[in-house]
Chains A and B, each alone.
Chain A
């Protein structure tokens, strides 16, 4: 193999599994160390830089970081990253002085944001400090988009949502509430320099089976619409027996909300076996803890209406082949119910975009959006969040917002949209002395801490009682120490190595080998411990001075304990803090004049 280019920010970025997996590339180990040091404000601000809504995401994020976490491969339980994010948010003090300063003199550019959800708020957050004027069009009377309408208050309290949206609105957004956009043409006529579409995926999927549109349809609801009505207080009760069709996260919010609005016998009906559920495992757990029954292998067949009244639903009971591709119908059953909520997915709908404006639409009547620039084929009109490519999640919406803001800034500065500011990195030695590091390098065997919940007896008293209590300080102290500091990198300097084997002997996970070079498959088989996780890179050094062999490191389960560097007599190994420099619209100007490391020509992945 060729020697690894560790000057490419992507190499070490990939070692920080959580940061690599996060769409917004939040510096997770960095903020966890700050929490460990009691620096909650700093931890919050570091989060805010990339993910903008630490308090909201600390409760609602889909957590792509956690399945990626190295700790999961070490002891089977990832660090509770999301919960720690919430700790930073819960314990922070007043951070208002640390927010970006908004220039009183504007740059003369006006941007329209359609929607006030996470992607549009991120665009505003990134552009306002540069002197842009942002006008936000919101169909409802309150901001937040699906964060407000689709996530129940018992998961995301109003004050948290309020805090983090208001911080951005207070930067000087002009919000026009109760103003749904009904025509893109007329908006284009208003002379904005750019338009950002962040309207989400607002249309819940229908289930067109017999009985759906009969006289009883007032007891059949579309999940996201129903949640929205609950959020705005238009719906305050539901029948005692409720069936939820579908088993995604919306279904979980629907069943748990039903439980709080009068439902006592709630069944979530799934077509496929449990391992194919779309809902996050922790949301399934929470629902089941609240007495919701989840029934697998039942496909809806018809609504049963008697005397103009919904009395139940008929399902086909399925048996699936291994892999759950083919099913056979065993029989059918009727399950009685008072209400049915359909939560089988949602899709985009753009009835307000005239099709003669020159905007290209592709598959499923979706606008064609450039994956790097977020621009549609109509110059100056950008998409982000669920509006861009269908339902994803909040953290993706934030990531889209950052990229769209860079594009809008490029557009307004007459820079080619494809000229993306590069990522950079800083690598700084953490050595404080002999066998002394600026980070806590010992492996802590603590198990993952469990979130405590409000007692079941009290939980259903009101819709807005937050169920998760957050980590206690004691839990926090244990959980932060579980982080393996994957951003403190084992940096190797081949010319200094005398091949004494000290690092290889001391490594607690046998991830180091000095051997003759070979191709990757060959090397992977010849290491101290075979490198079988192909998702994890091998580090390969330049030829070593004494024998011409190479140092190979399998990054897979390195616990970043620094013992290799402590036992190295020549300091060929060092522990270097990797700090990914992520470009944002506000940093784009100075990046372009060459302040970045020349190596980082790659955009985030």
Chain B
């Protein structure tokens, strides 16, 4: 279909859909290059609606990296909402990119962002709307190469049937290498092209790996079927964080997070055992304060955003957090700019930090104690004593914040109803303190999510809580937390069960995902759209048992479906940490003591090229230096 006809058809139908501004592009800072004079064209897709996708920092980073190249262009693609999809299918409007309105099928590369598993059916839907066969093996070189990346891809197997190649790890540098390689291999048969792609460090091409299973359904082996391929694909990292992106696209319509994010630090040294992000984003790399300050300046100037959030997995652990707060306060104290610093530790100092940084608009105070008994806190390796929680809450309420938000998790291994009761008790105590200070104005919002064991974490072996266990725990919470000033939120049980299947799923789940999509499943991240019954039916149709993925304890020596994906952490480290959790032993922040998780030997070369302070991992001293300093022990834990 010609360009004019896509635009003409859109023009006729856009007023019939909700929020037509989602589908037209034209935003300030969007990059529209001359299509005919550019060699390599990349479509970057976030498989949910514009309103959500526009808040995704990952997509924006990649968009920037590609558009910085003279011979490349990147454009955005989002999932149309149901109303728009039905019009597109009716009117034969193929999936198009927002900048040029060109069909996605005319691009060289389609990159799909998969930060979480609930987007899988939408990814299939996008490929289909683009007019392409959904199975990788049915697409030859006439179609754009389809790649995917993002946190969910650390277990790529459930999506292996649909995606030609996965990016394992961080995308900022590799995306340009992939695009360049596609330019070089244009005209080659797809299979040949993929061989070249697989040579890029961090790329995983599923069709080059065979999976064999035991009779009980567990994986026997995963082996490359092409010569010269690594047994395990080591994730890609950037040695230092690239300059922060500041020319954010300013949407013409309201979006979910209508603000600009700056990543102040990547990775986390806390080692919470449930935390997928904390394991897969190692090593910890921090940005210097002046780089952040310069980025804030540029964002105000380039975008006019009134709100900027300073992102990391654990802001209080950012080494220069106080200097940063001070600098922000000095520069923007009264400039109509609002900054937010989420993920603060539960301690009084956090109130100081937020007060300084808070600017004009005080965002709420959010803390994540996760568990409320000593046993559970040791087990998950996140220790925050009750008194510290209460003390911090008192501090926050007494400085005039009316609302505190707490995050807890239920469903960790060995949790009993007593542990859940302790969550209730701690919340009650906190709110009572708030009421003493603010009277009825004090509110406590409590989010209790359901734990889902994730690959590459010390809890990858544990069974997920059954529906009955979760039901019982949630019932207790709902019964006892009905009280003025207290607002409880929890996860839908179907949704958690569904996320569990895909999180630790294997390649056979591709059939299930396809079947579910064929029977109308999409927008699974939307509770009101997720069709649990259709998924169960899809499992049944494919002769697979859903409970196999969620509710069995995995053998310590089981070969996992993600065994060939190397996030840089030794399996023996995870195993040891899992055993420690059973014995309720904890580990301190790894900045204080290196536990040899595996990152350093895997990335020794990279580490040796960086400044001491650039990573939180101890510096790697070249052997010649070490020989010189022989009498002194290598200061493995000297940093921090």
A and B from one complex? no
Residues of A that sit less than 8 Å from B by CB: none
Residues of B that sit less than 8 Å from A by CB: none
